[in-house]
Structure 1
Amino acid sequence: MKKILTLLAVFSLLLTACNKQFIEILPVDTVTVDVLYKTDKDYQDATIGVYSIFQDQYQNMYYFGDIRGDDVWDELVKGTAGAVDNFTLANDDALLRDTWRNYYKAITRANALLEKIATADAAVVTNKNRHTGEAEFLRALAYFDLVRIFGDVPLVTKTLSIDESYKTPREKVDKIYDEVIIKDLLDAEAKLPASYSGADVGRATKGAAKALLGKVYLTRKDFAKAEAKLQEVTTLGYALLPNWADLWDYTKNEHHSEYIFDIEYEQGLGGEGSIYTNRFTPKVTSMIAFYGITGSVDDQNTPHQVLFDLFDAKDKRKDITASKGYTDATGKFIPILISSNNMSAYTRKYIVKITTANDSPANWKVIRYADVLLMYAEALNENGKTATALPYLNQIRTRAGVDPYTTLSQTDMRDKIALERRMELAFEGHRWFDLVRTGQAYTVMQKYGMRPYNTLFPIPFAQIQLINNPAIFPQNPGYN
C-alpha cells in the first residue's frame, strides 16, 4: 500500500492522456504539488494523468472479462492467460499485482485532484466542474472494476500518510458502491458536458456517467434505478451505427453515434498505441503478412467453439467476432492450419495494419450504445415490462441481419438478452462480469474448473504481506 497510496506517484511520471487528440505530456519537475495545482491548465494536466493509468490497465482487461468466461479460452495454455482460463491463477501473479497498483494509482491521482480543486477559485479554474466530473467518473470506474475483480477493497478518498495506508482496511463492497461509486457518478453526470468538440473529444461525458451508473445499478440488481437511468441515456442522441462492421474499421472515426466511452489509443505517438492487434493475432505467417502486422504476435484470446455455435449463418457479426481463417485479396478463404504452435481461431475486432509492434490504434470500448440498449431491455424485463423491452433487444438483432423476436415470456426474454450480449459484445470484456452479476457463473463455468469462490480473484499476495493484518486485510476465501 505504501507505493500505491503515496502522493509521490502523482507527478513523478510523464503524464499522458488517453484520448487520441488530447494527448499531452507534462514536464517532469521537482516542484511541489501545491505549485502544480494553480491554473486551469494545471488541473487539466492532472486529469490527464488519471486517464493515462487506464491506458495501461485496460491492456489487460480481456483477462478478466473475456478469458475468464466460457466464450474465450487460452488454447495454447501458457502463462497467466492459461491460469486465468483454468482457474489456477496464483495470488502472486503479476497480473493481479499490476491491476491492483494501476487502479490505486488512478484513485490516488483522482483523490489529489479532487482535494485541491474543491477550494480552487472558479474564476481562475474556469473548467472546475468539468475537471471535477472527470476525476469522479474515473475514480468511480476504478472502484467499479476493483470490486468486480477483488470484492472488498480499501476505500480511499483522500491523500493518506504512509502510516495511515498501513492501517486502511478492506471495506465492504456495498459501502464502496454507496459512498463512492454511485455518489461520484451522480455528481459527475451533473457536472460533465453532454459532448466535446475539437481536441477534447473522447473525454468522459454526461452520457458516459449516466451509462456507467446504469450498469452499476444493474450490477446491484436495483432494476428500477437501472431502468430510469438507462432510459435517460436513450434520450441523449446516441444511435447504433447502421453497419456493425464499421465499429471495427479503424480507418474511420471511432467517435461516432454509438460511441459512449472508450479507453483511447493512438498509433504513431511513441507508446500511445494498444497491444490488442499483436496480442490477439495467431502466429500464422501468411495471415500476419496479409493484414500487415509488424512485430511478434501472441496467440491469445481464442474464440471457443461454443461462441461459434451461437451465431446464425446470416448474422453479420459472425465472421468479425470469431474466425478460423481469412479471406485473401482474390476472395479465397484461407483457413488456419491446426498446429501446436498457433491458435486455431481468432477475433477480427482488433485486427488492423500496424507499422510498429504494439502500436495499434484499436480502442477498448468500455461502454457503447448497443450495451446500453441491451442493459435497458434487461432492466425493463426484470421490472415486468417484457413487451416494452422487446423493441430494444430487436434493434440489436435487426442491425445484425437476423430475425427479430416476437412475443417472449419474461424468462425467455431474460435468456435472449443474455444470448444477445454474448454475440454483440464478445471480446469487449463483458461476458465474465455478466455471468457473475446474474448468478450464472458457477453453473456455466464449473465444467471448466471453476470452484464456487472463484467469482472473485485473489487479493495480490504482496498486499496481504504488506499490511500483514488478517483482521483488517484478509485474503479472499479459498485462496489462503
Structure 2
Amino acid sequence: MKKIVSVVAMVMLLMTSCRKDFIEILPIDTVTVDVLYKTDKDYQDAIVGIYGIYQDQYANMYYYGDIRGDDVWDELVKGTAGAFDNFTLSNDDGTLITTWRNYYKAITRANTLLERIGSTDAAVITNKNRHIGEAEFLRALAYFDLVRIFGDVPMVTKSLSIADSYTTPREKVDKIYDEVIIKDLLDAEAKLPATYAGSEVGRATKGAARALLGKVYLTRKDFTKAEVKLQEVTTMGYSLLPNWADLWDYTKNEHHSEFIFDIEYEQGLGGEGSIYTNRFTPKVTSMIAFYGIAGSVDDQNTPHQVLFDLFEAKDKRKDLTASKGYTDATGKFIPLLVSSNNMSAYTRKYIVKIATANDSPANWKVIRYADVLLMYAEALNENGKTTAALPYLNQIRTRAGIDALAAGITQAALREQIVLERRRELAFEGHRWFDLIRTGQALNVMAKYGMKAHHVLFPIPLAQIQLINNTTIFPQNPGYQ
C-alpha cells in the first residue's frame, strides 16, 4: 500500500486543481475527465484519489465513534471534542461540514469513475472489474457512515447538474441501504479479489466487502443475512494474531492475518502519515520524550474510568488499551499527575515514535477479524443459536488471557457478554457509539451524560440547510433547528 499512499497527494492535487466550487451541497467536480480516464492506470490513480479522501475524513472519526460514547471522554473539555462529548454540538460546527464534504467528495469521484468505466473495453482497462469493485466499496462505506451519522441524506449515484444539486432531497435511510449500500457491496464482493500482492496490499478486497456487508445487515437487524455473510468471512483464511499487542506494534506489518480493511497511512512520505499519535498523547514532557514523539500533542480521547473498570486484572489488553502512566526505561511506572493541564489517562494503541509531527504510521482499523468474530457471535445468538455462538466469543477472550465462558449460558447473558467484549476488544477504534445506536441502548446508557432522544443523529451542517433553503426537501434533523 506504500505505493498507493505515495501517489495520493499527486492525484488529489490534479483533481482539485481542475475543480471549481460552484456550490457545497454535493462537492461537484468539474475535473477534465476525458484527460483523467483513458488508461488502466488512470482509473487506478482515480481510485487512489478516493482513498485519499478517507485519510482526511477518518482523522476525525474518533469524535463520532469514541468520544461520543461512554468509554471515552474529552477530559479537558475543549472545542469540538468537548461538544461531541457533552452533547452541545451546534449545527454550524466545522467538523460536521468537513465530514459532509469529505463523504460527498468520495461519492462524487466514485460516481464519475463508475460512469466513465462502464463503456470501456476490458481488453484496454485490464483491471476493470477491480476498479468498479473498489469504487463501489468506497461509495458504500461513505453512505454507510453518512446514514449512521446524519440519517436521511441525498442519494446521489450519478453526476448532477448545478440545478439538480439544489433540488436533490434528503432520501430515506432504508432506500439508501437497499439501493446503494447493499447493492454496491454485493457487486463489490463479486468483483474484488480475495488478496493482493506487493504494493497493492491494503486495497479493498472481497473479504472487506463481505465483512462490511455483514456489519450493514447487523445494523439493520437482519440477523439471518448477517449470519450468512459473516460466516463466509470466517472461511476466507483470516485468523486472530496470537499476541493481541502485535496489533499495535508499528514496527511490524499491519497487513497481517487479522487485517481486513484499514484507512492506510504511511510515515515519511510528506504528509501521508496519520495524526493519531499526536492527538492522543498527554501533554507530559517526560512521556513525550520517552516515546520519542515529535511536535505538539493534543490531550484528546481520554479513557473514562468506566472503561478501566471493564477489564479483569489478568486481561492482556488492559494496560495498552487504557493507562494512567508509563513505564520508563528502568522499569519504573511513572503515573500521570491529575492536572488541569493534561489528561489523567490515555490509550497506548496509537503511541509510536515519530520524527515529524502528525506523521504517524498508525492506520485506522475500519474492520478487523476480531470485529467479524464478535459480530458473527452476535448474529448467531440473535438467531437463537447461542451454543454455536459461544466459541466465537471465546476465541476473543482466550487470546486476551481471560477465562472462556462456560457452556449453557443463556441468550440474554451472552448478548451482554458480547457487548462487554466489543467494548474491551475494540475500544478507541470508532465502534462504541455506533454499537449503542444500532442496539437501541444509546439513550439508556448516555442520558446521564447529557444525551436527549434527538441526539441519536447529528445535525445536518447548517451551511447545507441554508444553501438549499427548502425545508420541504431538505429539513434539519429534529432538535437542531
Do 1:140 and 1:181's aligned partners in 2 also have CA atoms closer than 8 Å?
A: yes
- What SS does structure 2 have at the residue aligned with 1:384? coil
* Cα RMSD (Å): 0.8
Within 5 A, what are the aligned runs for 1:264-343?
264-343=264-343
Q: Aligned partner of 1:197: which letter?
A: A
Q: Which runs of 5+ in 2 are unaligned?
A: 19-30
Aligned residue number for residue 166 of structure 1? 166
Count of matched residue pairs: 462
For residues 164 and 22 of structure 1, the distance between their equivalents in structure 2, rounded to whole angstroms, comes to 34
- What SS does structure 2 have at the residue aligned with 1:421? helix
For residues 202 and 473 of structure 2, the distance between their equivalents in structure 1, rounded to whole angstroms, comes to 39
Aligned residue number for residue 240 of structure 1? 240
Do 1:281 and 1:351's aligned partners in 2 also have CA atoms closer than 8 Å?
A: yes
Aligned residue number for residue 151 of structure 1? 151
- What SS does structure 2 have at the residue aligned with 1:199? helix
Aligned residue number for residue 34 of structure 1? 34
Aligned residue number for residue 83 of structure 1? 83
Aligned residue number for residue 467 of structure 1? 468
For residues 59 and 84 of structure 2, the distance between their equivalents in structure 1, rounded to whole angstroms, comes to 15
Deviation of 1:21 (Å):
3.2
- What SS does structure 2 have at the residue aligned with 1:262? strand
Aligned residue number for residue 479 of structure 2? 478
For residues 315 and 157 of structure 1, the distance between their equivalents in structure 2, rounded to whole angstroms, comes to 46
TM-score, normalised to structure 1, is 0.95
For residues 162 and 321 of structure 1, the distance between their equivalents in structure 2, rounded to whole angstroms, comes to 47
For residues 381 and 275 of structure 1, the distance between their equivalents in structure 2, rounded to whole angstroms, comes to 38
Superposed CA deviations along residues 197-253 of structure 1, whole A, max 9, x for unmatched, are 011000000000000000000000000000000000000000000000000000000
Aligned residue number for residue 4 of structure 1? none
Aligned residue number for residue 124 of structure 1? 124
Q: Aligned partner of 2:427: which letter?
A: A
Aligned residue number for residue 259 of structure 2? 259
Deviation of 1:411 (Å):
0.1
Aligned residue number for residue 4 of structure 2? 22
- Structure 1 stretches of 4+ with a deviation exceeding 2 A read 25-32
Q: Aligned partner of 1:52: which letter?
A: G
Superposed CA deviations along residues 75-118 of structure 1, whole A, max 9, x for unmatched, are 00010000000000000000100000000000000000000001
For residues 21 and 377 of structure 1, the distance between their equivalents in structure 2, rounded to whole angstroms, comes to 36
For residues 276 and 34 of structure 1, the distance between their equivalents in structure 2, rounded to whole angstroms, comes to 38
Q: Aligned partner of 2:124: which letter?
A: V
Aligned residue number for residue 195 of structure 2? 195
Superposed CA deviations along residues 433-460 of structure 1, whole A, max 9, x for unmatched, are 0000000000000000000110000000
Deviation of 1:344 (Å):
0.1
| Sequence identity percentage | 82
Do 1:441 and 1:455's aligned partners in 2 also have CA atoms closer than 8 Å?
A: yes
Deviation of 1:32 (Å):
2.5
Deviation of 1:20 (Å):
2.8
For residues 234 and 176 of structure 1, the distance between their equivalents in structure 2, rounded to whole angstroms, comes to 27
Q: Aligned partner of 1:98: which letter?
A: T
Deviation of 1:35 (Å):
2.6
Aligned residue number for residue 434 of structure 1? 435
Do 1:21 and 1:201's aligned partners in 2 also have CA atoms closer than 8 Å?
A: no
- What SS does structure 1 have at the residue aligned with 2:121? coil
Do 1:47 and 1:134's aligned partners in 2 also have CA atoms closer than 8 Å?
A: yes
Q: Which runs of 5+ in 1 are unaligned?
A: 1-18
Superposed CA deviations along residues 362-419 of structure 1, whole A, max 9, x for unmatched, are 0000000000000000000000000000000000000000000012100000000000
Deviation of 1:34 (Å):
1.5
Do 1:73 and 1:303's aligned partners in 2 also have CA atoms closer than 8 Å?
A: yes
2:54 matches 1:72: no
Q: Aligned partner of 2:247: which letter?
A: L
Do 1:141 and 1:181's aligned partners in 2 also have CA atoms closer than 8 Å?
A: yes
Within 5 A, what are the aligned runs for 1:155-234?
155-234=155-234
TM-score, normalised to structure 2, is 0.95
